[in-house]
Amino acid sequence: MITKLPRLARLPALALTFLALSAFTGCTVYQSIGKSTGAFLHPVSGPDFVHIDNDQWDSGTNALIYFYRPHSQWAAEEIESPSVYIDDHHYFNIRNNSFTWFEVSPGERHIAMRRPLLGLEGLNSFSLSQIADATLEVEAGEIYYLRYSEVSAPDSPHPALEADHPLATDDLRLVTRDTAMKEDEIVSTLFLNSDLLAPNHAAVSIVEVNEDDDYERDIERLETEREEEIARLREEGKYEPASWYWPFGGGPTVSLETDREIRERERAYRQLEREREARAAAEGGGWWPF
């Protein structure tokens, strides 16, 4: 007799199937298996909220983002906690009555939240439960507060956002410092420790990851614009086709603006890598083979 497994019993096998698909087909599997323990099973027990010291981040060059989740009975009874992604990288799952932070590079940062089911969250563009999907333009030297709550909204919207901005309407909202500092807001939360029951990769600088992601996105965008520029030059008669006897010839008869932009972006990134190497050498005291 063949017995069908209950749906919940089949989920671990489904998760393994999705992970196998990602390995062999290049699909992106969103998951937080082993990291999504909720506050009902593992209440947050870190230190009381306090702003990090100024010497812990570069306020002259980068920005700081605080994430927090005020206490609620609903969140306290949660079995699994939602995942938080920045620029499509999973960093932590936010539990009841908790806060954490990130030092980030200025620019447009994509913030997403997904609710897992036994750690499984989605495949490519499909999500089991998408909670937040928004972009936040951050500036050097600024501090931002992102508040997540399913049961309550902040007293007032952030003045820098349009009324229909996702971070002004969804459960994850950008709030002002004054709002965050009110009683029962971030000042009442505890630091989200990383431990065996709920590991995370928060409370760190992710500036280099941001810079690498920005570079890859810029190059991808410029390559697309390059194809569009070539198509436009073809229409304007500024493109020489390849000879029938030499298929590798031909091309635009004028210099491409996108080629210049690509070279400048690559040059800037190489300089950035040299600066990183110099900092690493200075922090490590230099290289000495003996």
What is the rounded average pLDDT of the residues 198-225? Answer: 98
**Top-confidence residue, 31 or 250:** 31
Q: What band does 251 get if pLDDT is binned at 50, 70 and 90?
A: confident
- Least confident range from 28-42, 130-144, 230-244, 249-263: namely 230-244
Burial class (CB in 10 A: 0-12, 13-18, 19+), 95: buried
What is the pLDDT at residue 250?
Answer: 77
pLDDT confidence of 290, banded at 50, 70, 90? Answer: very low
Confidence of residue 164 (pLDDT cuts 50, 70, 90): very high
Task: Give residue 283's pLDDT band: very low, low, confident or very high (50, 70, 90).
Answer: confident
pLDDT number for residue 9: 45
Q: Residue 10 pLDDT > 70, yes or no?
A: no
pLDDT digit string (tens) for 83-135? 999 999 999 999 999 999 999 999 999 999 999 999 999 988 878 889 999 99
Lowest mean pLDDT among 9-23, 34-48, 253-267: 9-23
* Model pTM score: 0.86
pLDDT band at 8 (very low <50, low <70, confident <90, very high): very low
Which DSSP string do the residues of the chain spell out, in sequence order? ---PPPHHHHHHHHHHHHHHHHHHH-PPEEE-TTT-B-TTTS----PBP-PPPGGGS-TTT-EEEEEEE---HHHHT-SB--EEEETTEEEEEPPTTEEEEEEE-SEEEEEEEE--BTTEEEETTEES-EEEEEEEEE-TT-EEEEEE-SS---SS--TTS-TT-HHHHSSEEEE-HHHHTSTTTGGG-EE----SSS----SEE-HHHHHHHHHHHHHHHHHHHHHHHHHHHHHTT-EEPPBTTBTT--EESS--HHHHHHHHHHHHHHHHHHHHHHHHHHHHT-----
Residue 26 has pLDDT above 70, yes or no: no
Percent of the chain with pLDDT over 70: 87
Starting at the edge strand found earlier in the chain, the sheet holding 107-114 runs 89-93, 83-86, 107-114, 130-138
Chain segment 52-92, per-residue pLDDT in tens: 999 999 999 999 999 999 999 999 999 999 999 999 999 99
Mean pLDDT confidence for 35-64: 96
Asked whether the predicted pLDDT for residue 240 surpasses 90, the reply is no
pLDDT over 70 at 285, yes or no: no
pLDDT at 69: 98
In the prediction, which pLDDT does 126 show? 79
Q: What is the pLDDT of residue 245?
A: 64
